[in-house]
Structures are given as structure tokens and as C-alpha cells.
A and B are shown apart, each in its own frame.
Chain A
Amino acid sequence: MSRYVIKRLVMLIPVLIGVTFLVYFIISLSPGDTAAMLAGEDADAATIEALRHELGLDQPVIIQYARYMLNLLQGDMGNSYKTGRPVTNMIVSCFPNTAKLAFWSILVAVGIALPIGIISATKQYSMFDNVGMVVALIGVATPNFWLGLMMIILFSLNLGWLPSGGSKGWSSYIMPAITLGTGDAALITRMTRSSMLEVIRADYIRTARAKGVPEGKVVYQHALRNALIPVVTAIGLQFGSLLGGATLTETVFAWPGIGRSTVDSIKTKDTTQVLGNIVVLTITFSCVNLLVDILYAFIDPRIKAQYKK
């Protein structure tokens, strides 16, 4: 098992090199002169040229990239072109906001999805199942940035119950977490239902029933435990993508998270900040995926046995 984890961590290195190169190359294609933009409208040609030289922007892209990577290996992500402060400052201030929002969103998603998915499966083709699945289908199809705006119209502008943006106080978490959570809830509900349906027809469930095990125990102890294996994976992957920056939701609710920071930095051509954010997002995304795989092995003894071979 530990060999597998080490192998996966080692494989992360070429992926990170590839991602940083790809993003560096794409951003270097952008039209416009970064040095001129940073120097301001009133700057003369000499000032712009000096700034360009200072930032190393007069070098070929590949040299700029190599220098960036050398610094990155020493833990230095550079300074933001826009603010002049270390890139890590912005990441340290934004990332916890994104992580907290992701945590509450996934909690909302699981809180909605598991009960609906389980009841839908145990009462297949009932009214509850049909309504639950239609709602889940609509949930998957609803763009979260639109849902966010609809919630702002209702709860902030008309009823005045909740703040329309920012991250001050617990009440500011409610709408963004529900906005993000409902989309994920729809996916997890469908997955829970189909996974439960598959398990509920298994031979060992029939055996448990034949032995006279009470229905509640059959569902929650025999079926659910096995049905949850793919569901836990789905929850983990959804959590990973939430950490990857819920860019649109963060924009709608003016949430000071890493997704919004990345979009703002892209718009201002703040290359170092964009790269820093994307490196952190990629590492987080990959590590969450790795953790999901490890968790998968822990909850499914069959997979654990495969690693032991």
C-alpha cells in the first residue's frame, strides 16, 4: 500500500511540471504588454523597459519558465505582479475560505443526497422515488451561478434574511454552500440510488432477508455499507473539484476564495499569482484524488487485498 502511495506521489511531479509549463505557455500567448500594464498609463518607454528587464520578461518564454521552476523548487512562488507582495500571501488568505466553503457545501450535499438516495432505492418506483429523481435531474441541470442569483433575489433582496455576498459571519456561508451543495447533491443522490439498487438485489441481501433479519437492519447494515463504496468515491471527487475552486459561485457571492482570485489575476495578467494559484489547486486536486483512492481501499477489503498482492 505504501509503495502505491509513494508511486502516486512521484507521478505527481511530471504532472505538476506539465501543468505549470502548459499554463505558463498559455498565459504568455495573451495579447498586451504586461510590463506596460504594470508600469501604469503615465510611464515612459524607459521605465517600462526597465520594469520588463527587472521582471525578466525580456527573456524567451522557456528561460522565464525555467527560472520560475527553479524558484518554485526552493519554495519561492515569486511576488504578485499586481500587488508586489508574495504570491503565497494571497493563497494563504484565500485558500482557507475556499476550503471552508467546500466543506460546508459537501456537508449540505451529503445531508440531502444520502437520505433521498436510500429512500428512493428502497421504495423504487414509488411517488417519493419519482419526485426525488426528477428533482435530482433538475438539480444536475441547474447552473449554480443562476441558482445563486435566484437565491440572492429571494433571500437577500426580497426577504432580507441573508447577506448577498462576502464571507463575514455564519450567515454568509448559507447561500454559497447551498448553491454549490445542491448541484453535488443531485449527482450523489443519483449515484446512491443506483448503487443501492444494485446491492439490494444481491444474493447476500436475499440471504439476510431469508434469515429473518429485520428490514431496517438489512438496509442500513447489509446494503448501505456496501452501496456506499462508490458513493464515498463520488463524494471525495466532488470535494476535490470544490477545492479546485468554485469559480462561478465565488464570483456570484463575492466570496474571497482562490477560484475568484485566479479569475481576477487572469484578467489583470498577474502571471505569477495565476501560476501560484494553479500549482496549489493542482496539488490539492491530485492529493484529494489520491486520498479518495486510499480511502476506497480501506472501505473495500477486496481492493485492499489487491494492493497486498
Chain B
Amino acid sequence: MAATKAAPKKRSQFEEVWRRLKKNKMAMVGLAIVLMLVLLAVFADFLFDYDEIVIKQNTAIRLQGPSAEHWFGTDEFGRDILARLVHGGRISLVVGVIAVAIALTIGGTLGAISGFFGGKVDMLISRAMDILLAVPSLLLSITIVSALGPSILNLMIAIAVSSVPGYARIVRSSVMTVRDNEFVEAAKAIGANNAQIIASHILPNCLAPIIVQVSLKVASAILSTSGLSFLGLGVKAPTPEWGSMLSGGRAYLRNAPHLTVFPGFCIMLTILSLNLLGDGLRDALDPKLKQ
């Protein structure tokens, strides 16, 4: 037989995950909504001028219901709610993503050190994480943000600190399952130092649970952001943020319920889409489902 069988095309891990993710319709719906929200956040300034539409007050048209001119109506200061929601989405997403990035960096580093070295270092870090976990996370965030003062940066720090133990635990357990593998032994044998081994050999093999956790945690960070703003501890007026918009609408529940309906719906839609995507990623990255 002269004709030889063509070798099956080898897919990269990314292609394999993407192929499985594409099959999950719910995850694709989640991804589409997330992409739409990101695009709206990126192009918010092109859609609605920040100074003229988003924060400029016009009391002549205050508390108007949805209309052709103002699709989602106007708020108590006559500002277009849709414009504020679009710009508010930018803040929610930025705070959510940066808070998760901070938490992942700190928690991931602590978890990797704890899992890799074990022993006393592990015990010390684990007990510190237990202390952070013993305080309900929203209360911890509230305490931190009220101590530092309400601002976007402090909001990110507060949410990040209360999320650190979650990442530390996940990375720790992932590192512990990988650290005794032969390729780690091999890296040690060729003289790689601990930092190189963790960064180049161990962490890339722990990415799956971390990616899933990130997509789900961005959702809870957005929820915490809006919760803190709702309590008056987050983003300050006139900056638009979904939670503070909800809080502002509380005084007008009877006459202008649209002030609270739309921001809450946006929070729900964002969290729903991120959760759908996170669930899909978990299934796509789960080696048990690999065929």
C-alpha cells in the first residue's frame, strides 16, 4: 500500500476547548451577551457623550417614563437612563475585572507558594486565609471600603481583598495536585529555580480551574460592586454605576419604578451571561468530558 493514511490533524488545547465551548448553546449565548456588554463599554463615549448626556442635569425632563426620545426614561435629575446604564456598565465591568485581577494576583501567588512549599509556610498562609474567610465577604468589603473611603479604587481593593482567600485555596489545591508530577522533577533536575518551576511549569498546568473561577468571580465582583454602591459605599454621584442608580431610584419607587427596574435588569443580565459562560467553560475544560 503506497497510500499512507494522513496523520489526524492535531488540535491545540485552545482549539479543543473552543470546539467544545461552541457546542454549548447556553455558553455561546452568555459569550455573545458578554461581548455585547464589553463593546458597549468600550464605545460608550461614541454612543453617549459623558458630559452632555450622562452627567448633565436637566430638571425640565426629570422622572420621565420610557419614550422614543429616552428609551429607558430619565432619572430624578433629568438624565437619560440608557446613557447612564451604558456608561455604568463600563464602571461595573472595569471594577469587576480589575478587582478579580488584583485578587487573582495576590491570592494566586499565596496559593502557589502555599501549595508548592507546603509545611509551615502552607500552614501560615492557610490560617491567614481562614481568618479572611471567617468574616462574611460583603461585611469585610463594607468594613474596608468604609475605612478607606468611598472611591472606585477603594471599591476594587475592598472586593479584591475579600476574594483573595477563594483564589488562594483554588490555586493551592491545583498546585498540590501538579507539584509531584515528573515534569516538575525534570525541571528541578535541570536546575530550574522554584520561581521558574512555579511560573513556567506548574501554573500553566493549573489554568483550567483558575479560568473557570475567574469567569464566575467577575460576576460576583460586579454584584458586590453594585451592592456596596447600593449601600452608599461605592461609586459617588454623579458617576453612573448600576448599584448607585438603583439606590437613587429607591426614593421614587411609587412614581418612577423605571429608575430601579432597568439598572437591576442590567446587573442580572451581566451576571447571568458571565455565569452561563463560566458554566460552559467549566464543561469545556473538564478533562472527563474529553473524547
Contacts and interface: CB of A to CB of B under 8 A. Distances in A.
* A and B are interacting partners: yes
Interface of A: 14-16, 18-19, 22-23, 26-31, 137-138, 140-143, 145-147, 149-150, 152-153, 157, 241, 244-245, 247-248, 251, 259, 262-263, 266-267, 274, 278, 281-282, 285-286
Contact of B139 (A143, A153, A157, A281): A281
Interface string B128-145: 101110111011001110
A262 B127 CA distance: 25
30 contacts: A14-B127, A18-B130, A22-B132, A22-B135, A30-B148, A31-B149, A137-B272, A137-B275, A141-B268, A142-B264, A143-B223, A146-B246, A146-B263, A146-B264, A149-B246, A149-B249, A149-B253, A149-B264, A247-B231, A248-B227, A248-B231, A251-B230, A251-B231, A262-B139, A263-B231, A266-B142, A278-B135, A281-B139, A282-B134, A285-B134
Contact of A282 (B135, B149, B253, B263): B135
A149 B271 contact: no
Interface stretch (B55-63, B109-117, B190-198, B254-262): B254-262
B143 A274 contact: yes
A274 B146 CA distance: 12
Given A27-B147, A149-B253, A150-B261, A143 B267 contact: yes
B106 to A, nearest CB: 15
A301 B232 CA distance: 48
Contacts of B139: 244-245, 247, 259, 262, 278, 281
B275 A30 contact: no
Contacts of A248: 138, 227, 230-231
Given A18-B128, A248-B138, A267 B146 contact: yes
B163 interface: no
B70 interface: no
Contacts of B231: 247-248, 251, 263
Contacts of A152: 253
Given A19-B134, A149-B264, A282-B134, 19 more contacts: A15-B130, A18-B131, A27-B147, A28-B147, A30-B148, A138-B272, A141-B269, A143-B267, A143-B268, A146-B267, A146-B268, A150-B260, A153-B254, A153-B257, A245-B136, A247-B139, A251-B231, A263-B231, A266-B143
A247 B233 CA distance: 13
Contacts of A22: 131-132, 135
Give the interface SS of chain B, mostly helix, strand, loop or mixed: helix
A266 B150 CA distance: 13
B253 A285 contact: no
Given A15-B134, A282-B134, A29 B148 contact: yes
A248 B132 CA distance: 20
Interface string B232-249: 000000000000001001
B192 to A, nearest CB: 35
